[in-house]
Amino acid sequence: MKNMMLKDLVVVLLAGGKSERFWPLPHKMHMRFLGRTFLETQIENLKAIGFKSIVVVVNEDSVDELLPLGVQKIIQRGDGQGAAILSAKTEIAAKPVLILNADDVIEPELLKDMIKNIDGRNHLLVGYKVHNYFPGGYLVLNGKKIAKIVEKPGEGNEPSSYVRLVCDYFPNATTLLEYLEKVAQTETDNHYEETLSLMMEDSFDFEMVEYQSTWVPLKYPWQTLDVSNYFLQTIKKSKIAASAQIHKTVSITGPVIIEKNVRVLEFAKLVGPLYIGEGAIIGNHTLIRSSMIGKESVIGFNSDVTRSYLGQNVWLHSNYVGDSILSDGVTMGAGTILANLRLDEGDIATVVKSKRVSTMRNKLGGILGVGARVGVGSYIMPGVKIGAGSVIGAGVILQEDIAENQRCFIKQNLTIDKLPKKIESNRNTFRHKI
Amino acid sequence: MKNMMLKDLVVVLLAGGKSERFWPLPHKMHMRFLGRTFLETQIENLKAIGFKSIVVVVNEDSVDELLPLGVQKIIQRGDGQGAAILSAKTEIAAKPVLILNADDVIEPELLKDMIKNIDGRNHLLVGYKVHNYFPGGYLVLNGKKIAKIVEKPGEGNEPSSYVRLVCDYFPNATTLLEYLEKVAQTETDNHYEETLSLMMEDSFDFEMVEYQSTWVPLKYPWQTLDVSNYFLQTIKKSKIAASAQIHKTVSITGPVIIEKNVRVLEFAKLVGPLYIGEGAIIGNHTLIRSSMIGKESVIGFNSDVTRSYLGQNVWLHSNYVGDSILSDGVTMGAGTILANLRLDEGDIATVVKSKRVSTMRNKLGGILGVGARVGVGSYIMPGVKIGAGSVIGAGVILQEDIAENQRCFIKQNLTIDKLPKKIESNRNTFRHKI
Amino acid sequence: MKNMMLKDLVVVLLAGGKSERFWPLPHKMHMRFLGRTFLETQIENLKAIGFKSIVVVVNEDSVDELLPLGVQKIIQRGDGQGAAILSAKTEIAAKPVLILNADDVIEPELLKDMIKNIDGRNHLLVGYKVHNYFPGGYLVLNGKKIAKIVEKPGEGNEPSSYVRLVCDYFPNATTLLEYLEKVAQTETDNHYEETLSLMMEDSFDFEMVEYQSTWVPLKYPWQTLDVSNYFLQTIKKSKIAASAQIHKTVSITGPVIIEKNVRVLEFAKLVGPLYIGEGAIIGNHTLIRSSMIGKESVIGFNSDVTRSYLGQNVWLHSNYVGDSILSDGVTMGAGTILANLRLDEGDIATVVKSKRVSTMRNKLGGILGVGARVGVGSYIMPGVKIGAGSVIGAGVILQEDIAENQRCFIKQNLTIDKLPKKIESNRNTFRHKI
């Protein structure tokens, strides 16, 4: 592709989804990885590749004032990807356009590959090679040409090994917009997929760009852990701010990013890859492994944080947080545990929009919304979600999701009566065993 | 004041209160700070100033054989401060007298100030300058003269910024005793305050000595923490006994007093100011901050003791003890937590003599009487008090006070049945993640 | 004794008991001490003394393929020690024979003493000197000759201070076999004891070999701790495999055996005597004291293992395991505690074959069968036993034994409703206190 064309190209980043399946976490574009919001990260990656013209289609509720980045923000009108693209009509008309889903983490190499394959006339879609059945849109291929897309054909009926990943190039957006406007009149659910089908039927030339590297979608809340892990893996060597105070007894292995004014106290053990945000305090006798910890968070004495995502200003104290996601401002009392493994070691299921779904993970802890609070000595069972602002009392074994701004307390059956006989302690005789 | 007068002066220390509001702790005079009883401490401070003649008015039940200190002990007859002073009639008659409340911690400077202000004829009371309303006796002033004392005038009606603190000088105790005997015939509740009012009405000359420094009363059990903190703050540099064994891995910051034969084991973290009594054991992987720990206590593995008061022979094991008070011989099973913060972070209330009162603290843990025992994994809610000798079973969430010599157990609703299918472990596949 | 005779001597090791009172642990011969099964250990000890001919009488169910050791295995036919000896008839007929109970741990010195006392014609039994009443068979003595054995005479009626320990020498097994066969026709319960009585009545010459050293029986499951402790005490100096990885911060005191490929992580504290089997992982911030840990076990973060026996492939994570016995494959969730001391510090009782018996120990934790699993934050009360394969859920306070392959869960009484008022955090104001 000629540089001229790259200069003309408009990237449309679809970030306007409602993030409903992402409950109880904040809008996914607001999640922070390595200290930046997911949306910032996606945009910065596009800029780093060299794209000059980026349009972000957002949802009024979702991204508000989050974009002081020199990119253009469009408020999405209507639901779905088709509506999202139409919302950017003015910005893309008559130009070559690249349409990307902001929810997907992909390697920059894919976009560079796309650019190489542009010849000025062809349309490009991406085929992601899968090894097991995946409930997406399969490409029907004719050499490198795409003949058709079959949505969720069912296992055993796959027409190829390639599933479509939303990363679509059109040499002239005007054609796309015309088709979209036509389809928008119909009753179809998926206007954008329908549009692609119609264009293929009308013999537009669609070619597949093959992709086999990382693809991490951020649709369900537990996928935060996959995305977090993806970014942690990009840390190749340690970077510790000069203002960070790390006690000389602290053990650090593996690559870590430790931001400004972080304090790591006595006998802490850090196992990279790790990200610790500005001003966070990692208390003494803690174990922190393969996690992201947001700024100003405090990980109190004797906590164990393993493969987890913690937002900003999270407060822990003698907790086990394994494979868990804690939004900004979550606090937990001493001894509270986010259990992350079923006793039968089976895959963990959870409820999404009233339906029980498998998370396909056998290690998953709790998922807590902004400002959720748990008292001392409570046990949150694997995969349980707690809505923003809710309060869980002491000693609760929580097996079900809790909505926003609820309180949940336990009533114990206690027996109190007179002690039959005063107890004399023999503890001093045990002393020598200490 | 002439030295002669100081020599004649009798200090009357009022220590005969019943300490009822101090439940479930032992009589407050028996509490130990920096290794000495509160009463000893108060008397030693008076001696250090130079007072030669000290009379302690005590309660039969309260202070018994506690006074082998060369001071005179008087058993109080009748209730109230007036009765207390009258009990010392023989010892003080015709002498200048200084009357002090043994419950109050004040700076020696105040007493030195008093001495300076004595001119041989005047009476002196202390005015403690307050910045917010305080439910005490306010001084009505006329220059430095005290015209009157108004008890609890109500917020907004304060006649001055000065509240009376019981630290009263009389040039001749005989006059005081005559007034007290007269008032003692009446129905009034507060004979001593009434006596002062009558003397003012009869134009005796009362002057105020102004005081703005530390005043820590020990009336309610949680005030033990304030008094403890006061004494901890007096530790200016570390003093570690030669016979103390401190493992080389131990981290110590801030000033600490560590008495004879103390052992501090591997990976402990001590944060001063701290006092650790003779023969105590601070176990490995513990965190001890801003606390007093009585002699022969054992702080087992992995305990966190923060801003707390522990008596003698207390046994902990993997506990969190924050802003809490544990009397002699208290023991706690592993995992038991004294919660010290409400989920709404509000001020903590507790019951004193059948009335719910605010402690004015938003951080307060449990208050446990002598020999109270708590099993493993119990959670004592903020401000809850447990009577001496009581036993709390495992897994109890204790929200209410427990009287003396009670037992409190939980009855769980368990379901036991046949496991539908044998479980095979896949744990070995997780090994690499350790 | 002449060497010739030692060469002819057959040792019969009685290992065919059903191990029923040993529930829920595996057959006691399978228990592993210092990395070897109890049976292997016993046989190796006999070989080390110099015995050439060893016959092990086993139970079909119990010892199966466990004996590739050059010793002869006999399957026991019928119940009891008499039947066990008769099962070995062919192997021992006409030979001098030494009959030993495989359940008893004794010092090799006793056997060497026996050998010295053999004169070719006499029979030898062992008298174990006791200082308190013991419910066993007491020897009635006439000088060194044994006149009679009195079973359980009752306290105060003991005919001597010597109790019989099964370690019996016969110069010619044929005589013994003849008596046994005769007695086997009768209704008696204890054929072997009856046989000894008959032989004494018929004036065979029985002499006592006196024994005052270690005798540790392995009859009840909790005695595993005594046997374990016995073998731990034999570790006189540390032996650490070259391939073991021990972090430089680890504290080791007392003698330890650490086998191949063990990993001991940061800030662990090991207090010998200790045995850690091949490939085990001792996690960071752990405390391991006076225990045996089987191979491939993983002791996760912040666990405290004290005076306990752990089989192979046991998984812990932030647990307290004191005076407890965990069979192979046991796993425990974070925060689970095996309580090991009653609140009244009294001796701990437990149920054996439907009868409540005292364990004569005031420190005893849980006893868990093979593959038992406990969820997070459960508390197993002192002396409670859990059958193989059973699963205990989170937050259970277990006070009673659980049979094999059961599941036990708690049902809590939770109240969930709308939070009356949103909670704003003041935690930042607490920051300076960290």
C67-126 pLDDT per residue, tens: 656 688 888 988 899 999 999 999 999 999 999 999 999 999 999 999 999 887 899 999
Test the A interface: residue of C263, C285, C378, C413 with most A CBs within 10 Å: C285
Residues of chain A with pLDDT > 90, as a percent, come to 83
A48/C contact by beta carbon, under 8 A: no
C-alpha distance from A218 to closest chain C C-alpha (Å): 29
Closest chain C residue by Cα to residue A252: C266
Instruction: Give the nearest partner residue to C417 out of A251, A267, A406, using CB atoms.
Output: A406
At position A62, the amino acid (one-letter code) is S
pLDDT of residue B63: 57
C-alpha distance from C41 to closest chain A C-alpha (Å): 28
pLDDT band at residue C272 under the 50/70/90 scheme: very high
Q: Are B214 and B230 in contact (CB under 8 A)?
A: yes
Q: Residue A42 and residue C369: Cα distance in Å, rounded?
A: 53
Q: Where do we find the tokens 């494959």?
A: C329
> Three-class SS of residue B314?
coil
pLDDT of residue B67: 61
Residues B285, C298: C-beta atoms closer than 8 Å:
no
pLDDT below 70 — which residues of chain B?
A: 1-5, 61-70, 427-434
Closest chain C residue by Cα to residue B423: C389
The burial class, CB within 10 Å (0-12 / 13-18 / 19+), for C95 is: middle
Residues A410, C410: C-beta atoms closer than 8 Å:
no
C-alpha distance from C221 to closest chain B C-alpha (Å): 23
Chain centre to alpha carbon of residue C24: 12
Chain C hits for A331, Cβ within 8 Å? 425, 427
Residues C269, B285: C-beta atoms closer than 8 Å:
yes
Digit-coded pLDDT (tens) for A216-254: 999 999 999 999 999 999 999 999 999 999 999 999 999
End-to-end CA distance of chain A: 75
Closest chain A residue by Cα to residue C285: A285
State the DSSP code for B428. G
Q: Are C420 and C403 in contact (CB under 8 A)?
A: no
Digit-coded pLDDT (tens) for A67-84: 656 688 888 988 899 999
* Bridge partner residues of A418 (DSSP): B406
Chain C 306-335, residues with CB within 8 Å of chain A CB atoms? 307, 317-318, 333-335
* Bridge partner residues of B264 (DSSP): B246, B282
pLDDT of residue B61: 63
The burial class, CB within 10 Å (0-12 / 13-18 / 19+), for A95 is: middle
Q: Residue B366 and residue B337: Cα distance in Å, rounded?
A: 9
A418/C contact by beta carbon, under 8 A: no
Q: Residue A152 and residue C268: Cα distance in Å, rounded?
A: 52
* Bridge partner residues of B127 (DSSP): B164, B210
Chain C hits for B301, Cβ within 8 Å? 287, 304
> Three-class SS of residue A183?
helix
Q: Are C286 and C305 in contact (CB under 8 A)?
A: yes
Query: Helix, strand, coil: what percent of chain C each, to 5?
Result: 20, 30, 45
Give the tokens for residue B334: 């592993």
The interface pTM score, or ipTM, of the predicted complex is 0.92
SS (H, E, C) C350-364: EEECCEEEECCCCCC
Give the tokens for residue B247: 């493992």
A48/B contact by beta carbon, under 8 A: no
State the DSSP code for C309. E
Least confident range of A19-23, A84-88, C423-427: C423-427
Residues B418, C406: C-beta atoms closer than 8 Å:
yes
Q: Residue A374 and residue A393: Cα distance in Å, rounded?
A: 6
Q: Residue C137 and residue C124: Cα distance in Å, rounded?
A: 15
By C-alpha distance, which of A385, A292, B324, A391 is closest to C425?
A391
Q: Residue C430 and residue A296: Cα distance in Å, rounded?
A: 13
pLDDT of residue A63: 57
C-alpha distance from B17 to closest chain A C-alpha (Å): 28
Q: Are B234 and B256 in contact (CB under 8 A)?
A: no
Which one has a higher pLDDT value, A135 or A306? A306
Instruction: Give the count of beta carbons closer than 10 Å to the beta carbon of residue C237.
Output: 8
Q: What are phi and psi of C344, to 5 degrees?
A: -95, 5
Residues C415, A412: C-beta atoms closer than 8 Å:
no
Q: What average pLDDT does the structure give for chain B?
A: 92
Q: Are A164 and A150 in contact (CB under 8 A)?
A: no
Give the tokens for residue B89: 């009639």
Residues of chain A with pLDDT > 70, as a percent, come to 94
Query: Looking at the predicted structure, is the pLDDT value of residue C391 above 90?
Result: yes
What is the rounded average pLDDT of the residues C268-277?
A: 98
The answer for residues whose C-beta is within 8 angstroms of residue C63's C-beta and 6 or more apart is C15, C27, C29, C30, C39, C56, C73
Give the tokens for residue A84: 């999202």
State the DSSP code for B430. G
C-alpha distance from A407 to closest chain C C-alpha (Å): 5
> Three-class SS of residue A393?
coil
Q: What average pLDDT does the structure give for chain A?
A: 92
At position B372, the amino acid (one-letter code) is A
Digit-coded pLDDT (tens) for A275-301: 999 999 999 999 999 999 999 999 999
pLDDT of residue A146: 95
Query: Looking at the predicted structure, is the pLDDT value of residue A189 above 90?
Result: no
The answer for residues whose C-beta is within 8 angstroms of residue C359's C-beta and 6 or more apart is C220, C222, C347, C348, C349, C350, C383
Chain C hits for A395, Cβ within 8 Å? 395
Residues A407, C416: C-beta atoms closer than 8 Å:
yes
C-alpha distance from C417 to closest chain A C-alpha (Å): 5
A411/C contact by beta carbon, under 8 A: yes
Which one has a higher pLDDT value, A17 or C411? C411
Q: Are A153 and A162 in contact (CB under 8 A)?
A: no
B384/A contact by beta carbon, under 8 A: no
Q: Residue C205 and residue C202: Cα distance in Å, rounded?
A: 9
Q: What are phi and psi of C23, to 5 degrees?
A: -50, 145
Give the tokens for residue B47: 């001696």
C-alpha distance from B396 to closest chain A C-alpha (Å): 8
pLDDT of residue C1: 46
State the DSSP code for A237. S
Q: Are B261 and B243 in contact (CB under 8 A)?
A: yes
Closest chain B residue by Cα to residue A317: B320
Residues B430, A376: C-beta atoms closer than 8 Å:
no
Q: Where do we find the tokens 């009822």?
A: B20
How far is the CA of C385 from the CAs of A154, C20, C200, C221, C390, in angstroms?
A: 50, 14, 43, 9, 11
Chain A hits for C428, Cβ within 8 Å? 296, 313
The answer for residues whose C-beta is within 8 angstroms of residue C320's C-beta and 6 or more apart is B317, B318, B334, B335, B376, C303, C304, C306, C337, C338
Chain C 253-272, residues with CB within 8 Å of chain A CB atoms? 265-267
Predicted TM-score of the model (pTM): 0.94
